[in-house]
Amino acid sequence: MAGRIITLAQQKGGSGKTTLAAHLAVALTRGQARVALLDCDPQGSLGEWFEAREESLGEAGTGLDFRTASGWGARREARSLSRDYDVVVIDTPPKSDIESRPAIEAASLVVVPVQPTPIDLWATQPTLEMIAKEGTPSLLVINRAAARGALTVEMSEAIRALGHPAAATQLGNRLAFAASMGDGRTILETAPGSKGAQEIEALAAEIARNLGL
């Protein structure tokens, strides 16, 4: 059976696509899956993270493979990688449906990170419309939820009320997610057992179940 393709998509920049791509990829390798990353964002943040990871852990120690692609090439590269890997995780650029459409089309599941604010929620609409047009299964993931706050609760309810599938696991706003990536690692490696690490493990498990992995 071909590997599953998980595409991180969200037109709104800064929503957590790259952070989640790296974290989900590492989390899924823990379940013994062979995982490849595919960076379709010309900004190349995920690539920088991966290169830092190679420097920290050595080329053989990253536990992952990494490729880049752009535009329609993403679909072809993702399908090709899915023959050799159990999971392909694709990171996409913001504000470009030309760049992200092929990655959405190729996906087994599109993961849409959304921060629980009204502006982020409005900005998510075009992404959800594109996903609906392609008919790809998808999952909203609430990211950077404030630990305490009426807005988070209200927005989480609004997100769930969209009637769009949303992950039961939400990720908190934790500096440790951001900080962990600097030297090519993830919170699973810099703060194992922490709240944030538990959230990523729970989210990865939820996604793995969703994909029948």
Ligand X SMILES: Nc1ncnc2c1ncn2[C@@H]1O[C@H](COP(=O)(O)OP(=O)(O)O)[C@@H](O)[C@H]1O
177 binds ligand X (CB under 6 A): yes
Helix (H) or strand (E) holding 66: strand 64-68
Q: Where are the alpha helices (DSSP H) in 108-194?
A: 118-134, 150-161, 175-180, 187-190
If one asks whether residue 136 binds ligand X (CB under 6 A), the answer comes out as no
Interface with ligand X includes 18 (CB under 6 A)? Answer: yes
155 contacts ligand X (rule: CB under 6 A)? no
Structure tokens at 47: 């690539």
Binding residue for Mg ion, selected from 8, 9, 15, 17, defined by CB under 5 A: 17
Which of 7, 11, 18, 100 is in the footprint of Mg ion by CB under 5 A?
Answer: 18
Residues 6+ apart with CB under 8 A from 35: 25, 28, 29, 63, 64, 65, 85, 86, 87, 88, 89
Beta bridge partners of 158: none
Beta-sheet strand order (sheet of 109-114): 64-68, 35-39, 87-91, 4-8, 109-114, 138-142
Nearest residue to 170 via CA among 187, 154, 146 = 146
Interface residue with ligand X among 117, 173, 190, 210 (CB under 6 A) is 173
Which is closer to ligand X, CB of 64 or CB of 86? 64
Contact pattern for ligand X over residues 37 through 66, marking x by CB under 6 A? --------x---------------------
Residue nearest Mg ion (C-beta atom): 18
Alpha-carbon distance 106 to 147, whole Å? 35
Say whether residue 23 binds ligand X (CB under 6 A). Answer: no
Chosen residue from 144, 185, 200, 207 binding ligand X by CB under 6 A: 144
Least distance between Mg ion and beta carbon 10 (Å): 9
Cβ atoms of residues 91 and 21 within 8 Å? yes
Using CB under 6 A as the binding rule, whether residue 174 contacts ligand X is answered as: yes
Angle at the Cα of 77 (from 76 to 79), degrees rounded to 5? 65
User: In this chain, which stretch among 37-45, 107-115, 144-152, 189-197 interacts with Mg ion, using CB under 5 A?
Assistant: 37-45
Q: Which stretch binds ligand X (CB under 6 A): 28-36, 59-67, 122-130, 167-175?
A: 167-175
Under the criterion CB under 5 A, does residue 138 sit at the interface with Mg ion?
Answer: no
Question: Is residue 140 packed enough to be buried (19+ CB in 10 Å), middle (13-18) or exposed (0-12)?
Answer: buried
Residues of this chain that interact with ligand X (CB under 6 A) are: 10, 13-19, 45, 94, 143-144, 171, 173-174, 177-178
* Interaction site with Mg ion (CB under 5 A): 17-18, 45
